[in-house]
Amino acid sequence: MNEGDSSKEITLIAAASENNVLGKDNQLIWHLSEDLKRFKQLTLGHAVIMGRKTFESMPKALPNRTNIILTRNKNYKAENALVAHTIEQALSFTGEDIKPFIIGGGEIYSLFLSFATSIELTRVHHYFEGDAFFPEMNPLDWKLVSKVENEASDAQPFAFSYLTYKKTTN
């Protein structure tokens, strides 16, 4: 599969702070229950591609999704997940799914950014310290097509926005 292959709509889905922090010490920094519900709704029934560290940060493979782990470790085994060692192999494991999701972490988002046709980004309106980052997006390559703002609340101390980007065809 080549960059720009139009047979699949590859979507990066992430939650990142204003300074593009995704997490720290292999953990999410914030808890947005609404965002987690949205993540589940969007990815249910689809293939999800992630790195080994992201997979290991979860209690188990995500149910009702094809879990694909991209790792350099040739001996890596995971329960209820397929293990890939190249981007092409990971994408081939998505099979007939025309809308696979890339769910992290930072290195994996960077690897797939050029393959992606859309981005579902939850922008947490706060600055955090972290060690995993969402890649910088070239504004010439991406067009914001949808924005839904969410206010801070007692349950969620940070305001956040759902941003949907589509790759531009330059």
pLDDT of residue 155: 81
pLDDT digits (tens, 9 = 90+) for 109-154: 999 999 999 999 999 999 999 999 999 999 999 999 999 999 998 8
Domain annotation covers residue 5: no
Number of CB atoms found within 10 A of residue 12's CB: 25
Q: Using CA atoms, how far apart are residues 32 and 159, in angstroms rounded to an integer?
A: 10
Domain annotation covers residue 6: no
pLDDT of residue 40: 97
31 with 155: CB under 8 angstroms? Answer: no
Domain annotation covers residue 134: yes
pLDDT digits (tens, 9 = 90+) for 8-52: 999 999 999 999 999 999 888 888 989 999 999 999 999 999 999
Nearest of 78, 164, 158, 71 to residue 119 by alpha carbon: 164
Specify the 3-state DSSP secondary structure of 115: coil
Domain annotation covers residue 3: no
Residue 80 is part of a domain; what is its CATH number?
A: 3.40.430.10
The domain tally of the chain equals 1
Domain annotation covers residue 1: no
What's the pTM value of the predicted model, to 2 decimals? 0.93
pLDDT digits (tens, 9 = 90+) for 63-116: 999 999 999 999 999 999 999 999 999 999 999 999 999 999 999 999 999 999
Domain annotation covers residue 66: yes
Is the model's pLDDT at 2 over the cut of 80? no
Structure tokens at 41: 């709704």
Give the range of the structural domain holding residue 102, as residue numbers without chain letter. Answer: 11-167
